[in-house]
């Protein structure tokens, strides 16, 4: 899940208007089987939430207009929703910045892509109830002088980075006293390489990304300050993760919420653990 902030609401709204007048597809798509198709957008490149693979192993779903397949927590959730609501599922691979405009224009029916339910996004799209709750953590290398940190204050003076356009970088890192904050990284893999190579003392991310990183980088250590008096200060909207749908599409919104209402936090965590267990180590 990426806790990204939308910096330019007006730009996204203009993209929406452009897409609609350019002929955005707002009609329900029907498959060859006669069932309606649920068109779900995601990046297909951010394990453990979603990733691209070359086979249908573990139940991966074909990516539209591609020879590849998508899998991960978001795909697992999309499959469950589609099955229970009677849809065939289509995964649409889009860049992060294209997700909201695609939902706005009707090019896709929803985005299941680790989007936090922020007030900025709620001005453009509707969100379901949360389908995951992601706490903020830090990663350090084994043997780091910060390895035993018990709170944010214990990270004072650390050289650090995180991913571009995220709450981790924009909100959390500045809370570290006297932090030496290096330029943000373009992707989560680049962020992890910066830490693994020793270019930084720590990176800040969310719990699922951190857990996935430990599989690929067993030398890393995870620092979780949640529940302490010295945790990162973030709002609930920045850690509650929802599914975005076009405003006014109450039928789909209510349908997805009806599925989510049958799941518990334990179910969410079980599914995430399963996704982490089969993720490609390269992502």
The residues, any chain, with a CB within 8 Å of residue 223's CB and separated by 6 or more, are: 137, 138, 139, 140, 146, 149, 202
Cα separation, 37 vs 79, in Å, equals: 12
Residues 158 and 181 in one domain: yes
Residues 229 and 244 in one domain: no
Predicted TM-score (pTM) of this structure: 0.81
Q: What's the pLDDT score for residue 20?
A: 38
Count of domains for the chain: 2
Residues 209 and 245 in one domain: no
Residues 142 and 207 in one domain: yes
Sequence-separated contacts (24+) of 250-259 with Cβ below 8 Å? 252/109, 252/110, 253/126, 253/128, 255/81, 255/85, 256/81, 256/85, 256/110, 256/128, 257/128, 257/129, 259/80, 259/81, 259/84, 259/85
Dump the DSSP string for 129-163.
S-SEE--EEEEEETT-TTTT--SGGGGTT-EEE-B
DSSP 8-state class, residue 58: G
Cα separation, 192 vs 108, in Å, equals: 31
Is 3 among the domain residues? no
Residues 140 and 231 in one domain: yes
Q: Which two tokens stand for residue 157?
A: 């003076």
Residues 68 and 165 in one domain: no
Is 283 among the domain residues? no
Residues 86 and 149 in one domain: no
CATH, residue 147: 3.40.190.10
Q: What's the pLDDT score for residue 185?
A: 93
Q: What's the pLDDT score for residue 96?
A: 83
Residues 118 and 33 in one domain: yes
Query: How high is the mean pLDDT in each 10-residue block of the chain (283 residues)?
Result: 47 42 49 86 91 96 98 98 98 92 97 89 95 94 98 98 88 97 90 96 94 92 96 88 97 98 97 92 57
Residues 215 and 173 in one domain: yes
Cα separation, 135 vs 234, in Å, equals: 9
Is 219 among the domain residues? yes
Cα separation, 32 vs 26, in Å, equals: 19
Q: Using omega within 30 degrees of 0 as the cis cutoff, is the peptide bond preceding 48 cis? A: yes
Full residue range of the structural domain in which residue 198 is found: 136-236
Q: What's the pLDDT score for residue 30?
A: 67
Residues 22 and 71 in one domain: yes
Residues 255 and 180 in one domain: no
Residues 123 and 244 in one domain: yes
Is 195 among the domain residues? yes
Q: What's the pLDDT score for residue 12?
A: 45
Cα separation, 245 vs 50, in Å, equals: 18
Quick check: 222 and 214 in contact, CB under 8 A? yes
Is 171 among the domain residues? yes
Q: What's the pLDDT score for residue 7?
A: 44
């Amino acid at each position: 899940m990426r806790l990204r902030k939308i910096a330019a609401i007006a730009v996204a709204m203009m993209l929406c208007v452009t897409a609609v007048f350019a002929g955005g597809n707002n009609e329900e798509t029907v498959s060859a089987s006669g069932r309606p198709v649920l068109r779900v957008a995601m990046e297909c490149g951010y394990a453990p939430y979603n990733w691209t693979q070359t086979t249908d192993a573990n139940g991966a779903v074909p990516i539209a207009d591609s020879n590849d397949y998508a899998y991960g927590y978001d795909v697992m959730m999309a499959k469950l929703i589609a099955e229970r609501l009677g849809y065939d599922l289509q995964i649409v691979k889009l860049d992060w910045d294209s997700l909201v405009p695609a939902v706005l224009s009707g090019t896709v029916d929803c985005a299941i892509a680790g989007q936090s339910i922020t007030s900025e996004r709620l001005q453009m799209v509707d969100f379901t109830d949360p389908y995951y709750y992601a706490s903020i953590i830090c990663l350090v290398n084994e043997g780091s002088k910060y390895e035993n940190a018990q709170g944010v204050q214990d990270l004072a003076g650390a050289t650090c980075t995180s991913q571009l356009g995220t709450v981790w970088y924009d909100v959390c890192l500045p809370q570290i006293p006297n932090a030496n904050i290096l330029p943000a990284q373009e992707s989560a893999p680049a962020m992890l390489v910066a830490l693994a190579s020793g270019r930084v003392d720590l990176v800040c991310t969310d719990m699922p990304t951190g857990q996935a990183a430990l599989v690929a980088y067993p030398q890393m250590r995870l620092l979780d300050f949640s529940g302490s008096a010295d945790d990162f200060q973030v709002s609930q909207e920045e850690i509650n993760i929802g599914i975005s749908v076009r405003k006014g599409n109450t039928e789909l919104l209510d349908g997805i919420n009806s599925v989510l209402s049958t799941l518990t936090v334990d179910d969410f965590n079980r599914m995430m653990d399963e996704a982490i267990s089969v993720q490609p180590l390269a992502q």
